[in-house]
Amino acid sequence: MKSVISKELPRLIMDKLNLDDSIYGVKGSYGMGNYTDTPWISIYDKSISEGAQKGFYSVFLFKKDMSGFYLSINQGTTYLNEKF
């Protein structure tokens, strides 16, 4: 499942939405170090965000039982926490 979230679905999203990878990024995560109960895939404009830590981005947040997902607009706070 980790490979599906982190590699296969992001690649499929880029292809199906015909996104220019010099402008947009798509990243999926099943957790860093420890696995999360709620994996996610983000789509972001590289001129606004560098990923989930900084800027604004849309995210598909999967339910714990993987029966569905939520689509939301998120703001990265890691950058702000480190800066202030």
Tens digit of each residue's pLDDT (9 = 90 or more) over 13-31? 999 999 999 999 999 998 8
Residue 50 has pLDDT above 80, yes or no: no
Reported pTM: 0.80
CA dihedral sign, ordered 43, 48, 50, 53: negative
The candidate with the shortest Cα–Cα distance to 58, out of 67, 48, 66, 68, is: 48
Average pLDDT score over residue span 6-11: 94
Domain spans, the chain: 2-83
Q: What is the mean pLDDT of the chain?
A: 88
Side chain identity at 42, as an amino acid letter? S
Residue 78 has pLDDT above 80, yes or no: no
- 34 band by pLDDT with thresholds 50, 70 and 90: confident
